[in-house]
Chain A
Amino acid sequence: MIVSPPEENLEDFLENSLSGHISATSKGEIIWVNRKIAEWLDIEIDQLIGKRITNILSVGSRIFYETHLSPMLKLTGFFEEVAAELQSRNGTKMQVLINGYTKKDEHDKSNGVWLNLYRATQRTVYEDNLRMAVSDAEKTLKAEREMALLREQFIAVLGHDLRNPLGAIKAGSTLLNRSPLSDRDKAIVGTITKSSLRMEEMIANVLDFARVRLGGGIMLELDNVMIEPVIDHIITELVISFPGRTVVADLDVPIAVKCDMSRLSQMLSNLLANALSHGSSDEPVRIMARINDNNLEIAVINGGKPIPEKVLQTLFEPFTREANTPSQQGLGLGLYIASQIAKAHGGTLTAKSNLDKTFFTFKMPHFID
């Protein structure tokens, strides 16, 4: 059973509809509008009759109607959910969504156009807010990126420029050392030499950091290296700086390993120095090296207080100084660079800590040719 509402109800429905309805000729001249349209445009209904549809649109929508919507009506017969802007005579604008279709007569010839308009002011505000949020986020991201780049460039330039005056200080202290000096002067020159070496190391770290962040990471010069003598040499060097401490080496790497010797030394020296300075002073630091399952594994183990879980999480990030004794530390780049060296070798550097021992483990793939 088809139920049709009485005709006066339909008329009432259209007249008092919250949506706007327009009937126009196929050329786009308005034949009829409901009250809502006149209300929106703040104009009498009869003043709209005979006007063109484009007359009640803002300039953008007018052009869009002529270049896109009108062709759509001609070719496909309808369009749906098109955003547009009504413009009243005094210039006030209102966002709407329009559906439109072409009416056909019995010969399938177009004899007019129906348009249904829905107020879309809330929706437009919502869309505007979304758009603004997106553009704000993009701007912030861009600014942050630029800042980060600038910061890293600054670090690179600074590191580079610090080298020259430092070179002069080092050369000066070497020359002074050759002259006969009083004990007091000798002590001063010794301090200068030690400080400039420490500073040189920090600058090298800063430049490595900048290289990793700005360029393609740490570049390696790979060679077939016997690891054991390299480790022994590092131990000998470090024990001089930590008198009274013991390092127990347990090395079993009887074959050559493909790696960058100086980078690997840099990494191990850093790990070992950390273990010596942070580990408990009455226990030896152990260093173990093994080849197994196509992996080279080197572990540095020290006793003493565990590294807190929170610190472990960010240990390998740049500029994370370990707490308590900032003056003793460099820039907090050592472990970051060590982990980057591990990464460049296709390996990993991990840390774990329990109640009485702390382990730093370097692991890299090694394929026996």
Chain B
Amino acid sequence: MFAHGFGCDQNMWRLVAPSFDDSHQIILFDHVGAGGSDLNAYDPIKYSELDGYARDIVEIADELALKDLVFVGHSVSAVLGIMAAAISPQLFKALILVSPSPCYINEGDYIGGFSRIEIDELLVSLEANHLGWSKTMAPLIMANASRAELSEELTDSFCRTDPAIARQFARATFLTDSRGILAECEAPSLILQCSQDIIAPIEVGQFMHEQMTNSTLVILEATGHCPHLSAPEVTVLAIQEFLQIITEQ
């Protein structure tokens, strides 16, 4: 199961998910408020905390009666995977955490990447809608013929995010401190960290690796926050190697 992060939708797995088609059943979904999700399903109280999103993951797994689930979560969804594994540990065979961060705010020795002031500034600019989320920018049609198969879908749903829901999602994402639950996670976990990521710096990956007993840390030579887009080949390779190892065990 692939879970997209904040600001995008399931399309971001396009370059990675097909590589696992032979060996696994692929499940892609959009969080409520993103992509093609049903906006009527949005419940401001349920989704005011990340827990609401984590319960959705468990619900999907239960509904589809999944077993030996390998959960791949990007960014905030990596944390959602850890939360879901705390709710229903038996569901998960392994967690693949792509550019995860349990806490974005620096605190004492912990380096999260942002100061509290910066996060407050982010939330203020979200309130003022300065982040350019707008439905008008959604229907982007690709001029590039070689990827024409994508374009139909993209016209109406690519990375569309409902602005009001995005605001609340950002609040939940950037204000949640999930460091406390890391040590309880027993599922075999792969932490994939980019070498140059301003949102989840390397220190965050190292911190998580120290906290999570059953974890492997791999630093990818990649810039940005989305290695599955900027460096899909190495991302796929790292995941495949990890799955191989835990299967052999």
Q: A60-B122, A81-B134 are in contact. Are A75 and B224 (CB under 8 A)?
A: no
* Complex alpha-carbon distance, A52 and B198, angstroms: 10
* Structural contact, B198 and A58, CB atoms closer than 8 A: no
Chain A, residues 94-110, CB within 8 Å of chain B (1/0): the string is 01011000001000100
* Structural contact, A60 and B114, CB atoms closer than 8 A: no
**A124 interface contact, C-beta 8 A:** yes
Find chain B residues with CB under 8 A from A76 CB.
140, 142, 150, 154, 158
In the complex, the chain A residue whose C-beta lies closest to that of B131 is A64
Chain B, residues 138-171, CB within 8 Å of chain A (1/0): the string is 0010111010001000100011010000000000
Q: A27-B223, A66-B199 are in contact. Are A95 and B130 (CB under 8 A)?
A: yes
**B128 interface contact, C-beta 8 A:** yes
**B7 interface contact, C-beta 8 A:** yes
The total of Cβ contacts below 8 Å across the A-B interface reads 117
In the complex, the chain A residue whose C-beta lies closest to that of B198 is A54
**B12 interface contact, C-beta 8 A:** yes
**A318 interface contact, C-beta 8 A:** no
* Structural contact, B137 and A81, CB atoms closer than 8 A: yes
Find chain A residues with CB under 8 A from B184 CB.
none
In the complex, the chain B residue whose C-beta lies closest to that of A60 is B125
Q: Which of A82-90, A152-160, A270-278 binds B? A: A82-90
Find chain A residues with CB under 8 A from B125 CB.
58-61, 85
Q: A70-B229, A78-B140 are in contact. Are A131 and B129 (CB under 8 A)?
A: yes
Interface residue from A58, A66, A71, A98 paired with B121 (Cβ < 8 Å): A58
CB proximity of B145 to chain A, nearest CB, Å: 9
- Which B residues from 11 to 26 make CB contacts under 8 A with A? 11-12, 14
* Structural contact, B122 and A59, CB atoms closer than 8 A: yes
Q: A80-B140, A82-B132, A82-B137 are in contact. Are A71 and B12 (CB under 8 A)?
A: yes
**A198 interface contact, C-beta 8 A:** no
* Complex alpha-carbon distance, A74 and B147, angstroms: 12
- Which B residues from 164 to 188 make CB contacts under 8 A with A? none
Chain A: residues with CB nearer than 8 A to chain B?
27-28, 52, 54, 58-64, 66-68, 70-72, 74-85, 95, 97-98, 104, 108, 124, 127-128, 131
Besides A66-B198, A75-B154, A77-B142, 13 more A-B contacts (Cβ < 8 Å) are A27-B223, A59-B118, A60-B126, A63-B122, A67-B8, A72-B140, A74-B229, A75-B158, A77-B143, A81-B134, A83-B130, A85-B125, A108-B144
